[in-house]
Structures are given as C-alpha cells and as structure tokens.
Structure 1
C-alpha cells in the first residue's frame, strides 16, 4: 500500500458493492420464499406417492438446504464488505489527517513518504525549530495508516477469497460449510473466553481489521486487556481504559454507601455496644477503599506522578499495563518495555504481602531495576533489548493468616502465570525472545507450579530468590534444564532459611518442623539453594535478618552481586554470573 493509492481510494465503491450484495441477498431470499410456497408446499399437499415421489422429495429438500446455504454465504460477503469499508475508511482518514497536519506544519510529504521542509529561518515557508520532531511524528502516523490499510486488505481479501472459492466450486451450498463460515464470522465479533489458548486468541486478533480491533478495545476493555494472546500494546490501551473505569466504579460504590453510621449504639455497664450497621458499612468501605487506593496508585504511576515522572506518557522505556482487574485481592501486571518486541523478556512473580498498591509504588521500581541491570549487562556488540514485567496475577499471601503455608494460591497462580507466558510467546514479533521466569519468596513456588503444566513453562531460564521451595525436589524437574535454573539465597534471609520460632506467626507446626528437621528440606520441597536441588547458585550479599529477603533486587542497595547477576541472566548471559557454592 502506498500513499497515493490509499489517499485516492474510492471507499464509497466498497459501500456500493455492499449495498448491491444486500439487494441480491434480499431478492434471493424472496426467491427462496417463492420456491417454498410454489413448489415445496404444493408438492407436500399433493397426493403423489411412490418411488419417484420419494426421490423427488429428497432432491427438493436438499435443494432447499442448498438455497438457504447460498443465502447465508451471500450475507457473509455483505458483512465482509462492510468490514472492508470500515477498515479502509479508518485508514484513509488517518492518512489524510496526517497529511493535513504536515501541511499545517509546512512539511512536504513525497510520494514515497519522505518528508522535507524549509530550514531557512528567514523564509516565509520556514517550518520552525521543531520541524524534525513534527516530521518524525507525522511519518510514524503515515506508516501506521498504510500498515492499517495493508492489514485490512489482507484480512478482508482472505475472507472474500474463501467465499469466492466456495461459490465457484459449490462448497458454499453445503449447510455444514455455511454454518462453519457463519460461526467464523460471528466469532470475529465476540471476544474469546478467558483461558482460551493464547495462540488461538492471537489468530482471532489477527483476523480483525485495525478498526475492528479498535472497536474491541473500546467496547470490551476489561476482556481485551486481560486476555493472553492479545499483543502488549493493545492490552495496554484496553487496560488503561479499564483502569479509569475501575477507579470511577469504586468511587461510585463508596458514594453509594452513604454516610458513616454511628459506631456505637450506647453503653451497657460502661462498655460500648457496637452498631452492627456500622460494622457492615466499615467492612464494605475498607474493602472498596483498599482496591481504590491500589488502582489509584497504578494510575499515578502511569501518569508519571511518582519517582520523578518514571512511567509517565514520555517514559523511556514505556511502561505498559498488561493486566488490571478486581478479582480477589486485585490483579495488576506492568512491563517496562514492550515484551512483543524485546529480545530479552523477564517476568517477575512477587510473594508474601504483595498488593496492587505496591505494584504502583516500589514493585514497579523493582521491575525497572531489573530492566536497567539487564540493559547494562548486554554484551559490547549487542544493542540492549529488554522488557521487564512485574506480574501480580494472583492473590499473594498476606500476613493476616496462614495462606503462606499452603500451596493453593501458588497452584491457581501458577496456572495463570503459565498462560501469561504462553501469551507472550504467541504475540512476540520476529525470532522468539529469550524469556526468563523469576519468582521471589512465595512467588518462586508460583513459578514452580507453573512449570508443571502440560507443555511446561514458556521460559528459557528460571530465577528463584528468597525461595521457601518450589514444589519439586530437583532443578531438572522445572523443564528448562538444571543448568538454566538460577538460585539466590541470602545467608540471613529468614524465608530462604529455617525461620526462628514465631517469625511468621500462625505457622507454628511448619516452623517447628523446619527447626527440628532442617536438613535440606524447604517449606515446599528441597531447598533450592542446596546442592541436592542441583540449580546454579549465584552470589548475593548476606544481608541482615530484617532486610535481606527484600534486597535481591537492590531495594536497599545492599544486595551485593544479586541484581547484577540477575541482569546477566535476563540479558542471556547467565554463564557470566558470579557464582556461590550451594549449601
């Protein structure tokens, strides 16, 4: 597709063709009704019997089915032409808008898309000091419009070509074929169900024109934004819309709660009597407020209101919102860099006490530090290409109960994490990315559970830090090869090592077993830092009992070799890590 072809395209002609097929389908339907009335019904009321009558009735019935199938196929041509019109019209409008803006900024666009301008400040046609920046933006818009038209051309040509083949060889007269074609056309207008295989989702998405994709994002942001197999940029667009909707909805629900009821009904023998209505109001209020604060924290991050504007509209790398939702404790997935384009992709699963508010705050910076470390670890002859994801796609255990001692959250989270990485594989452009799955604390158990699904985990390397165990006894059981399983465990980490009594409260029996039968067993299988596990242990600082568990990613700046080693692994240079002997 070139500029002139798209600019001069007779889009109205497509609409005219669509109207013609509508007229044809209507007329064809009237002929079918006449056939039914004048032939089928009369024959049915006749008293004709015998072998010949039986053959005739069978043939007439089959012919009726063929006519109905043909009508369906004609209707599908009309629908395809409507989608073609919408797609090409949108692309043409985007091109014309870019060209108009070029004129406004005194830029000249050549037929091949090249842009020139007058650089003489004394000339009446001087394009201004910002001309180069404006030219880059407009050229990008022109390229996007042409790609949009190309995509529409390919998808619509495929659909029309299929229907034309059906018409020419007679397969379109088959009821099963017509049903399958109709189902396929209907599927284009329906978002695949959550949990659908990411490769199937990607194929569905590719079958839509850019305009159809835009409508899906606009009309179904909550579904599109959280569907594995949808490209990262589209998920980001949808999730940013959905995030605003979630914030608005939580504010509305808080307002609908009404004023705070009286906390106490009175006093009996000097003791306050709690108002049950207050208790119910406060429980609802606090739950809504907690999620609202989490959503708002992420919105503030995306708006660049934290850490010197990092994550804002002009952030480099861009911060993409790959998931957001209010299921359970809330879901949030962010990525520094585009995982569909990066050669090296890291996805970190957090552990104990992780929250949505944390994702908008320090956790986002954890992923950013991983990104920075991986970029700096690139080889001398490499152009750094990294995306660093922070994945809170499950209900992380909190310190208000014994959930950290059970595997159920890791099992559920592992299934979703497995699907998420499969989605990143499906949407990646070009050669497959080098993908690293990372698990911190309880998050390492989530990663471990994710590897146990059929087909394994879509990862080349696995990093486990501060791990209480991953649910298996050997690194070789994680599916990437023991030499690609990297383990960091600080000497004074109370989670990666046997905790002191009462350290985590409510885990008495589990802690008792750890202290009295330490061996090489962790909470969930063999200790990943042990020689028996068989992973590659990398050097980290000893740390202190209060900060070592949270310092593997440089949060406190005392993690020693930990973050640089993680950066080397993420960038594909795991062979260059500073190693440490297993315990």
Structure 2
C-alpha cells in the first residue's frame, strides 16, 4: 500500500476541484429554483387562493421551497469544505515537493515512505576524518533532520486537512427527505455555521462604510459572492452599499433560517423568542402576499431585525435601477405589525410619482431602520416621543442607508427623495443635519412635530418641502423640544398644498396631498400652499 508521502506527492486534485464545482453549480441552481418557485408559483397563489384547501396546498408548496433552500445552503457549504480542504492539501503538496526538490538537489536520498537519507558519500563516517570533514558531516546530518521535519509537517498537514474536511462533511445532513422534520432550515443553517467554525473560517469582513462595502463586493468574483450570500446571509443582507437584489436574496434566506429556529424553540435563537417569532411571521406573510407582483411592484427586503418592536427596510421596485428613488421614514408607534399598511403607502407614493412622470421608473422604500417611539405624540408624557433621542439613534443608520443606495445604484445618478411622517420627519432631520448628511436631492415631510433644526437650510439640501393639514393636531408640538418646526414663518423650505384631514390622511387616494408628494419624488415642483384668504395671482 502506498505511503501517505507517496500519495500526497503524486496526488492529482482535479477530481476534487471538479466535485467542488459541481456542488457549487447545484447550489446556484437551487437558488434559481427557489426564486422561480417563489415568484412564479407560490407568489401568484398567495394572491388568488383562499380557503382551507388553498392554505394546505400552500403549506405543502412552501415546504418544497424550504427543502430547496436547504439544498442551496448545504451544497454551498459542501463546496466550501471541498475547496478549503483541496487548497490546504495542494499547499501541503507544494511544500512537500519543494522540500524534496531541494533535498535531492543537495544529493539527499528520499525513499517511497518519505524517509530522508544522507548523500552516499556521507552515509558511512570514516575513521580518519578531519575536523573539517566531521563538521561538514554534522552540517549534513542537521540538514537531513530539517528536511525530515519539513516532509513530516507537509504530510501531517495534508492528513489534518483531509480529516477535518471529512468531519465537516459529516455535519451536513439536512435530511430533506424526512417529512416529519418541519424545521429543517434551522438545522441546515446551524450545520453550515458549525462546519465553517470547524474549518476555522470566520466569514467575510464587510466594510462598515457603504461606499467601501460596494467596492469590496465588486472586487469579489462571482463564486465568492454566491458563497458569502449563501453561507453568511445575515451579514450580506445587512450591508449597506451592496446590490439590492443580493441583499434581498440574503435577507429572505436569513429570515427563513431564523424563523425556523424560533418555531422549534431552539437555543440557536436569542431571548425574546415570542416577539421575534411574531415579527418574522408578520414580515414573511406581508412579503408572501406580494411575491407574484409585477416587476415594478416587486419587493426587495433590504434589512430586517426581529427584536423588540421589529425593524424592516423594504423597497418596492429595484432602487438600483430606478430613475427616481424615495425613502419613506414612518413615525410614532410604527412596529412590524405596521408593515402591511406602510407597504400600501409606499405603493401609493410610487403610483403618484409615475402619474407625475410616466417616462421615469420609480422605487419607493419603507425604512423602519430605527426604533420608533411607542406612544402617540398627542399623549406626550413619553420622553422618547417628546425628545430627539430615538431620532438621533436612527440618524446614522439612515445616513448609511441612503449613502448605500448611492453606492449600489447603476447608471446615471438617481433623483433621491427622503421623506418622513410625524416623528419620522424628526429622524430625517437629525440624519440630514448631522454627519455627512443624506446626500438627498429632495427632502419632503408631512405632519412634522419638528426636525431637530431651526431652519430648512440646515438639512444640507436645496430642496426642502413640507405639508401639513390644517387640522393635523401635530402642530402643537412644533417648537417645544424637536426644533422650531416647518410651519414657523422663519423656518424656510416650501410648503405644498394639502387637501386631506388629520395626521394620517396624506396618502388618501386622489388627493392633492398625495399628488404633490408624487411630483416631488418625480423631481417636479409641487403645488404650493396658499394661506386661507389668499389666492394664486
């Protein structure tokens, strides 16, 4: 039987490379299959099927999607194990061959078991050796020991790599044919994590700066991008500056994995399981409803956090390719339970913008990337509501997000509008006035209690718009603790006409309030507010 030395020295790793490529190809095909099944099969059915039979059928179809995701994740993990093991063994082989070549060049002899012997002329010591000859012999003997240690080290490293690779592969047992296992995705994710840990792989180091993150991503080859998005979906999905379709895929995979872990009550999940489970189920249900939507209405999950009240960042239409992009920041009491209503709002904003300019494409984004205050502002005993703290906490995440949109956008620069409602306008103000600002072309707010600044000119953009219904009770809060407030005569900016009532009517169908917001998103001037008793000349 050939020794490990001989096997390593002669090993051809082309079959191992081909195996890794095959598993990577399978993972890629499963990704495509999942996306097609979600958008072409279950998506349309969510919108059209009703009743108990429909629910049972959808559960079965979604179980198929879960199994496809497991294959996607574990096939990529297998790819990484094979490739990592191969690279380590190839390096060991390279080191071994280098040692052997050097030794043989010095006339040392190496047998098939990897044992090093002295050159023939030094094999037997002579009784009449001179001191010089004896010293040279000792030098040769010391060199022999060095060669032997290096050979043994290379063989040992190859054996260690092979053993660790074999152990890692043994962890990957998704059991996709076991129909009794309802929480397979959680197991799959944990298995992949365990495998990466066993191989000593810590995953990608994504730069914090969105522009740097975008450049980092572009510098990866396609295989690295697929590997990171599949094996580390949480990190990739949360990275501002990366392409929106990549973040969407990664976040949906991460969401499914955490959802499955929480459903099984696994230690893999963090404390607060009940709230997290509820938030993820709510988010998934709202996304599922719209999976079969037309391209302009397709949703992109750009970030999410199931903790606490929940956070979600969801785009309608791809912001990386749209001519106009609007980011809507919601206000007080917005939680994950608000997702459906907030998606309806950004849908109306998108329609209003495209009505204003049908030649341009528009993406609207619901950005709940901060912890919105819980109590209604009109009951302002709550210091979180009355103070700027929550807005200031959300300022940098909002800046990172808008700068990330700039970095990931394709082609000509988009017309970017950042919008805020109620306390969301306070967050917009804190973000726009601090740091490097929002890099927005327009800022437009409605029902603002104050934007943390005393003048529109402090928001780092020339185009600042605001609207406020005459009976919006938020007006009492302006000038108290959140800044002077847009309706103050010295605040500046452009007030646009609103014809809706109350604090939450600004998106009423057919209203001038909605149409004016659409014009701003489309890069047009809104109809300006005319005080009572005056008229346009």
Partner in structure 2 of residue 552 of structure 1? 506
Q: CA separation in 1, counterparts of 2:507 and 2:100?
A: 71
Q: CA separation in 1, counterparts of 2:480 and 2:292?
A: 41
Instruction: State TM-score, norm by structure 1.
Output: 0.56
Change in 2 beyond 3 A, CA 1:475/1:254: same
Change in 2 beyond 3 A, CA 1:253/1:582: farther
CA contact (8 A) 1:462 1:486 kept: yes
CA contact (8 A) 1:334 1:390 kept: yes
1:487 to 429, 443, 466: 466
Change in 2 beyond 3 A, CA 1:372/1:30: farther
Partner in structure 2 of residue 225 of structure 1? 237
Q: CA separation in 1, counterparts of 2:293 and 2:254?
A: 17
Q: Tell me by how many angstroms 1:288 deviates.
A: 3.7
Q: Render the CA deviation track for 1:174-204: whole Å, top value 9, x for unaligned.
A: xxxxxxxxxxxxxx984235x7101111111
CA contact (8 A) 1:414 1:447 kept: yes
Q: Tell me by how many angstroms 1:316 deviates.
A: 4.2
Q: CA separation in 2, counterparts of 1:372 and 1:29?
A: 70
Q: Tell me by how many angstroms 1:537 deviates.
A: 0.2
Q: Tell me by how many angstroms 1:27 deviates.
A: 3.0
The reply on whether 1:333 has 2:318 as its aligned counterpart is no
Q: CA separation in 2, counterparts of 1:522 and 1:34?
A: 86
Superposed CA RMSD in Å reads: 3.6
The reply on whether 1:477 has 2:453 as its aligned counterpart is no
1:384 to 355, 360, 369: 360
Partner in structure 2 of residue 302 of structure 1? 287
Partner in structure 2 of residue 91 of structure 1? none
The reply on whether 1:243 has 2:255 as its aligned counterpart is yes
Partner in structure 2 of residue 293 of structure 1? 278
Q: CA separation in 1, counterparts of 2:415 and 2:264?
A: 44
Partner in structure 1 of residue 97 of structure 2? 27
Partner in structure 1 of residue 341 of structure 2? 362
Q: CA separation in 1, counterparts of 2:102 and 2:396?
A: 51
Moved more, 368-377 or 17-26: 17-26
Partner in structure 1 of residue 498 of structure 2? 540
CA contact (8 A) 1:232 1:340 kept: yes
The 3-state SS of whatever aligns with 1:541 is coil
Q: Render the CA deviation track for 1:125-183: whole Å, top value 9, x for unaligned.
A: xxxxxxxxxxxxxxxxxxxxxxxxxxxxxxxxxxxxxxxxxxxxxxxxxxxxxxxxxxx
Partner in structure 1 of residue 68 of structure 2? none
Gaps spanning 5+ residues in structure 1: where?
1-10, 39-187, 258-283, 305-309, 499-513, 515-519
1:440 to 418, 421, 424: 421
The 3-state SS of whatever aligns with 1:550 is coil
CA contact (8 A) 1:301 1:311 kept: no
1:572 to 523, 533, 537: 523
CA contact (8 A) 1:232 1:322 kept: yes
Partner in structure 2 of residue 112 of structure 1? none
The 3-state SS of whatever aligns with 1:289 is helix
Q: CA separation in 1, counterparts of 2:312 and 2:96?
A: 49
Q: CA separation in 2, counterparts of 1:340 and 1:436?
A: 14
CA contact (8 A) 1:205 1:213 kept: yes
**Paired residues for 1:120-519 under 5 Å:** 190-193=203-206, 196-253=208-265, 288-304=273-289, 310-312=290-292, 316-359=296-339, 361-378=340-357, 383-399=359-375, 401-481=382-462, 484-495=463-474, 497-498=475-476
1:525 to 469, 483, 499: 483
Q: Render the CA deviation track for 1:181-237: whole Å, top value 9, x for unaligned.
A: xxxxxxx984235x7101111111112222221111111111111111111000000
Change in 2 beyond 3 A, CA 1:492/1:24: same
Q: Render the CA deviation track for 1:302-340: whole Å, top value 9, x for unaligned.
A: 212xxxxx4536564211111112344322111110001
Q: Render the CA deviation track for 1:477-515: whole Å, top value 9, x for unaligned.
A: 00002xx000011111111x11xxxxxxxxxxxxxxx6x
Partner in structure 1 of residue 74 of structure 2? none
Change in 2 beyond 3 A, CA 1:490/1:218: same
Q: CA separation in 2, counterparts of 1:303 and 1:315?
A: 15
CA contact (8 A) 2:295 2:317 kept: no
Q: CA separation in 2, counterparts of 1:202 and 1:542?
A: 41
Q: Tell me by how many angstroms 1:462 deviates.
A: 0.2
CA contact (8 A) 1:467 1:489 kept: yes
Q: CA separation in 1, counterparts of 2:370 and 2:223?
A: 33
Q: Tell me by how many angstroms 1:32 deviates.
A: 8.4
Change in 2 beyond 3 A, CA 1:373/1:580: same
Q: Tell me by how many angstroms 1:345 deviates.
A: 0.4
Instruction: State TM-score, norm by structure 2.
Output: 0.60
Gaps spanning 5+ residues in structure 2: where?
1-16, 22-85, 109-200, 377-381, 533-537
Change in 2 beyond 3 A, CA 1:355/1:541: same
The 3-state SS of whatever aligns with 1:303 is helix
CA contact (8 A) 1:469 1:525 kept: yes
CA contact (8 A) 1:192 1:201 kept: no
Q: Tell me by how many angstroms 1:581 deviates.
A: 4.2
CA contact (8 A) 1:303 1:313 kept: no
Change in 2 beyond 3 A, CA 1:23/1:289: closer
Q: CA separation in 2, counterparts of 1:346 and 1:492?
A: 26
CA contact (8 A) 1:302 1:313 kept: no
Change in 2 beyond 3 A, CA 1:22/1:453: farther
Q: Report the number of matched residues.
A: 356
Q: Render the CA deviation track for 1:39-87: whole Å, top value 9, x for unaligned.
A: xxxxxxxxxxxxxxxxxxxxxxxxxxxxxxxxxxxxxxxxxxxxxxxxx
CA contact (8 A) 1:468 1:523 kept: no
The 3-state SS of whatever aligns with 1:321 is strand
